[in-house]
Amino acid sequence: MRMRGEIAKNKEEEEKEVRNEEKKMVAVMPRKYSSKVVVVVGYALTSKKIKSFLQPKLEGLARNKGIVFVAIDQSKPLSDQGPFDIVLHKLSGKEWRGVLEDYRKAHPEVTVLDPPDAIQQVHNRQSMLQDVADLDLSDPYGKVGVPKQLVIKKDPSSISEEVNKAGLRLPLVAKPLFAKSHELSLAYDEISLQKLEPPLVLQEFINHGGVLFKVYIVGEAIKVVRRFSLPDVSKRELSESVGVYRFPRVSCAAASADEADLDPCVAELPPRPLLERLAKELRRRLGLRLFNLDIIREHGTRDNYYVIDINYFPGYGKMPEYEHIFTDFLLSLAAQSK
């Protein structure tokens, strides 16, 4: 008699064998492997991203829709692999960007998600929010801006002077200049600023009820979830607190705020028309189709919003119904290119 664990294990092994067979078929019989396959997606992802994104439920749904995911072998020339309809990637490094740019020029018929140069803009927090600031979106549904910020590239001893010169108000959120790290710190007083380690970006902290809105964008699809964030800082707390407090990946905390008993003024999602307009403008300006926005609402207001971070190809595995949204997106891309 087989136990439940054995049955589950055998089922996983069978699914893995099916995926491996599909990949072999794509590799040895381009465009003749199966009449059921509509879209071939080559992927170059980190092992961590593969685990979080290419979950069995996504791959199973994709197979049913005629989509097959094929791992790109980085030890071989990209042009020798495939053929692909779409290349999905999230790898860093100048060499990889060069490989992708050459591939895009040689294979204009293949959709690369997304262009390496466009991704670079949101990897640097100095340029990340510039398009949001330039947009300065304001309409009947609300206003969207960015917090006042300052870039410090070196010499921590001069941070206090630079902060005063720029007119930034304490407390300040300190983030690494390059978005590879999601850790952040909150500095309460000027003396402690010199403890920070450049290169970094300093943002004015805006009270927002301890909740942020993670706006996932997949092509034209938008999905919003609530996440717990840093708590508000009162004037009394600011006057009594000193030092720099470090925090982990705040917006990626396991505890979702969607089911929490929150003040309706804090929990209310940003208006859909405002998000649709913002997403449309940023898709065009950034040249990206896979990203998310961390948005906060200024506490005590109903329609003052701030974008505090932009992430390329975020953790879609945490987005509700991501399997359906993502597979529909891939099918729409394939339809557009034919």
State the Cα–Cα distance between residues 191 and 168, nearest whole angstrom: 14
283-297 exposure pattern, b = at least 16 Cβ within 10 A, e = fewer: beebebbbbbbbbbb
The answer to whether residues 267 and 297 touch, using CB atoms and an 8 Å cutoff, is no
Q: What residue numbers does the annotated binding site cover?
A: 49, 90, 125, 175, 182, 203-214, 229, 294, 309, 311, 315
Q: What residue numbers does the annotated binding site for 1D-myo-inositol 1,3,4-trisphosphate cover?
A: 49, 90, 182, 214, 311, 315
Q: Which residues lie closer than 8 Å to 41 by C-beta, 6 or more apart?
A: 67, 68, 69, 70, 84, 85, 86, 87, 88, 330
DSSP string, 171-240: SEEEEESBTT---EEEE-STGGGGGS-SSEEEEE----TTEEEEEEEETTEEEEEEEE-PPP--HHHHHH
Residue entry with tokens 């009270």? 207
Q: What residue numbers does the annotated binding site for ATP cover?
A: 125, 175, 203-214, 229
Q: What residue numbers does the annotated binding site for Mg(2+) cover?
A: 294, 309, 311
